[in-house]
Structure 1
Amino acid sequence: MAVTICPWCQSEVPHEEGEEPEKFCPVCDNEMDGYRTLRVNVGSEEEEEEQEEEEAEENDDSAIDWNSDVAMSEKDEALLRFEETVAEILDEQDLAPECPQCREYMLEAGEQLISGEQFRPRIPEALGQAVLEAPFALTVYMCPSCFTVQTTLAENDRHHVARRLSEASTRRTGGHP
């Protein structure tokens, strides 16, 4: 049984001998071919020797496919442009949270407005009112590596919640901290 390591989430993806390896990681759904993919064969020494021979043939200068080298060069350039653009976007952001999935910095993708029809607040007994009332906004972040999406309360609405909780505490204690 051979095992492929996903270059994005580092999961081991096993596959049976004679079967084609997965094209996409079943854990993070990223493409597994090409960039930083590592294949590990677990089996007999004969299989390892066969693989070494195949790799030697692939590395032989007389077997170079120049068309595939040009395509790889274009892919490398596209990846480099992608990484440069991601770095520029991150430099512009005030906040760049880490992705909970792969720990890359996330890009701010936009803002989602939540109206009263889309949100039903919970009213805790200790507070006597909702912690958060609609309308409010969520800042949407996207990971450029594994494409996980995460939302956080927008900065302006954070201040409203903090003020609401602070005022409720002051009312309960009669103005004393």
Structure 2
Amino acid sequence: MSQAGSTPGARPARRAGRWERYRVTHPFSARDQAGLWGAVVGAVGLAVLLGWALDMKGGVVIVAAVPFIISWYENRRTAFQFDAVGARFGTVLLPWGDVTQFVVAMPEGGTHALIGARLRPGAALPAGGAVPAHDPAMPAPIHVAVLRAKFDLRKMSEKARRYAPSHIQIVVADPSGERVAT
């Protein structure tokens, strides 16, 4: 990497055509797919209507709408993400200055892994974000549940070393205690 002397987490969010982030998504759902296809059909319908009513090129509407549709769909599917801005748990965005640790818990026999964050003293969760109910396996105040099949602790640790600020630790919590992920 040619950005010698820069600090992790302060880099631009996009480099050389690929995103510098770690992201875990919810599985595809029929509701989300219906919303995606509804938005696509709505954009095409609007393009046809404007083309007919205003003698306007309908392709302009489609080209203008596609980025918004894709962004809406990706935000809807994202369960957990961190990038240059901070960490996102569902709809709650936490700036890096408020996060001290990521906590990962994998309840015994469960199909989900829990990813959470411990906050610095005095930091509060942003107002308006939907926070799931407390899970006894998760010692952090905010968390999300993701399918174990979609979660890779090794990849998360690798991306955190590359993109997150150096003060962020990843801790694995289990019934016997907590340990720092390597």
Answer yes or no: same fold by TM over 0.5. Answer: no
Considering only CA atoms, is the larger Rg found in Structure 1 or Structure 2? 1
| Bigger fraction of residues in strand | 2
TM-score (norm 2): 0.23
TM-score (norm 1): 0.24
